[in-house]
Amino acid sequence: MKYVSTRDNSKEYSFEDVFIKGLADDGGLYVPVSLKKYSAEELLEFKNLNYNELSTEIINQFSLDFISKEELSSLIKKSYSTFREKEVVKISNVGELKLLELFHGPTLAFKDIAMQFIGNLYEYYLSKNDKKINIVVATSGDTGAAAIDAIKGKSNLNIFVLHPNNRISSVQRKIMTTVEEKNVFNIAIDGNFDDCQNIVKQMFSDLEYSKSINMSGVNSINWARIIAQTVYYFYSYFKLDKKTVSFSVPTGNFGDVFAGYLAKKMGLQIDKLIVATNENDILHRAISKGDYVSKEVRETISPSMDIQLASNFERLIYYINNSDSPKTANAMKKIKQNTYQIDKPSLEIIQKDFLSESCNEQETLDIIKKIYEENNIILDPHTAVGVGAANKLSFNDCVILSTAHPCKFPDATNNAINKHEKLPDELQYVLDKDENFQVLNNNTEEVKNFVKSKV
Ligand SMILES: *Cc1c(COP(=O)(O)O)cnc(C)c1O
């Protein structure tokens, strides 16, 4: 399968370019030239596959020129052998709700599902290429932990993780900063998540710098992550055995919900995808009324969604513009100037597939309380936003993506119900272990120098 950049689709790239570089040199995101669309008969054949088999079938469509199907299959098996659920994900019934639990990986958030896979994909690539790669990634809390767990101890790989200082939960931070492997570097930036993401983007766009250190990215724009995430949409669809399924997706960078859109484009019978945001509601404003003007980022109790500019939204803009890359590049310019509005015809197309809602802090706490009182289940605040959005839209017949284990956000649940979930035994150690991280200013040069001094 060949790929192009959303901002200039005259040039083709291989899966290797897409996976290792993450971002195209022109600043655009990679998308496949064409997508495999499964027929109803082909989909029927997937119905009885287990999670690993299904992953192999779907991912193989995208990575065939990079890794053979046999090698992919064993790589996937290895990736998910670290999960506490044998079938990787689990659908649970909570009262009337269906939760798709995605947090049974080593760092307790859905990001493990894609990240364990791509950690092994790097290892596979480096077994065939004599190189050293430096991964640099910004995190709003969960990406960093998942990436570190996936990369720690692997040879010829370093990982540098930028998190916003004092703006992530202490459990999130400790899972990252108590790792001892020598190839892991934690950096706390005096700024918010968008600042961290900007620094990483600037490092990448300084081509001389990024090439000099073989810099690679694992943030949610990495196509390899997106395709690993499409799998659980397929898997849960087959488990539910209904004609069509809708999903409510707690959303920050638009990666997870974009994976659902991709599954729909590949032929899966998805009705609506609900984009559920916290008070950082730019995507809700965009999808409900076309208003894509970013505001100051607010700190919330669902920090992994404290994002204004959702990187993966560019992919949707590209598809809505019928794969017109100059038009997409132009939209991205407007987004940069913070003057982008979605026109009415485009908005109508978007609303065929997407609904949106946002929950403020009190609404999120109220959901946690209500679900606990009715079902004796503690939801993490991100999942609660997904439930709240579906409730507000009176869209009850949908699957809520449960993106994190509640024990990762004890302050939020204490606040709502005066209770918190304990960490699983195998992670208890992070609570008392010494942490190791470097605090740096919100300054790209400073970060560049730090990284360079360590590679
Ligand atoms: C990252 C994250 C999200 C948001 O996912 P995106 O792909 O960025 O939209 C939601 N919930 C949790 C717990 C997360 O870690």
CA of 40 to the centre of ligand 1 (A): 30
- Establish whether 243 is a catalytic residue: no
Q: From its phi and psi, is residue 153 left (phi > 0), alpha (psi between -120 and 50) or beta?
A: left
Q: Which domains does the chain have, with CATH numbers?
A: 90-106+223-417 (3.40.50.1100)
- Using a pLDDT cut of 70, give the percent of the chain over it: 100
> Residue 134: what pLDDT?
97
> Residue 281: what pLDDT?
97
* Burial label, 310 (beta-carbon count in 10 A; 0-12, 13-18, 19+): buried
CA of 106 to the centre of ligand 1 (A): 16
CA of 272 to the centre of ligand 1 (A): 19
CA of 454 to the centre of ligand 1 (A): 29
Residue minimizing CA distance to atom 1 of ligand 1: 304
Asked if the model's pLDDT at residue 406 lies above 90, the reply is yes
* Token digits of residue 118: 């791509």
> Residue 140: what pLDDT?
81
**pLDDT tens, residue by residue, 420-452:** 999 999 899 999 999 999 999 999 999 999 999
| 252 pocket-lining for ligand 1 (C-beta < 6 Å) | yes
> Residue 150: what pLDDT?
97
DSSP characters over 210-271 = HHHTTEE--STT-HHHHHHHHHHHHHHHHHHT-S-EEEEEE-SSSHHHHHHHHHHHTT--EE
- Could you tell which of 403, 405, 408 is best to mutate to test the pocket of ligand 1, judged by most ligand atoms within 8 Å of the CB? 403
| 188 pocket-lining for ligand 1 (C-beta < 6 Å) | no
**pLDDT tens, residue by residue, 357-385:** 999 999 999 999 999 999 999 999 999 99
Taking a C-beta distance cutoff of 8 angstroms, is the pair 283, 253 a contact? no
- Taking the alpha carbons at both ends of the chain, their separation in whole angstroms is 33
- Using a pLDDT cut of 90, give the percent of the chain over it: 90
Identity at 327, one-letter amino acid code: K
Give the pLDDT mean for 142-169: 95
> Residue 22: what pLDDT?
86
- Give SS3 for 65: coil
Asked if the model's pLDDT at residue 205 lies above 90, the reply is no
For residue 137, give the H/E element and its range.
strand 133-138
Question: Higher-confidence residue: 37 or 308?
Answer: 37
CA of 157 to the centre of ligand 1 (A): 25
* Burial label, 336 (beta-carbon count in 10 A; 0-12, 13-18, 19+): exposed
> Residue 241: what pLDDT?
86
| 406 pocket-lining for ligand 1 (C-beta < 6 Å) | no
**pLDDT tens, residue by residue, 290-315:** 999 999 989 999 999 988 889 999 99
| 250 pocket-lining for ligand 1 (C-beta < 6 Å) | yes
> Residue 305: what pLDDT?
93
- Could you tell which of 102, 112, 142 is best to mutate to test the pocket of ligand 1, judged by most ligand atoms within 8 Å of the CB? 142
Give the pLDDT mean for 89-97: 93
- Strands 3-5 and 8-13 come out as antiparallel
Give the pLDDT mean for 175-199: 94
> Residue 169: what pLDDT?
85
Taking a C-beta distance cutoff of 8 angstroms, is the pair 378, 372 a contact? yes
| 304 pocket-lining for ligand 1 (C-beta < 6 Å) | yes
How sure is the predictor about 17, in pLDDT bands with cuts at 50, 70 and 90?
A: very high
Q: pTM for the full model? A: 0.95
| 105 pocket-lining for ligand 1 (C-beta < 6 Å) | no
Give the pLDDT mean for 210-221: 92
| 142 pocket-lining for ligand 1 (C-beta < 6 Å) | yes
Residue minimizing CA distance to atom 8 of ligand 1: 253
Asked if the model's pLDDT at residue 396 lies above 90, the reply is no
> Residue 202: what pLDDT?
93
Question: Higher-confidence residue: 15 or 307?
Answer: 15
> Residue 91: what pLDDT?
97
Catalytic residue among 21, 98, 111, 264: 111
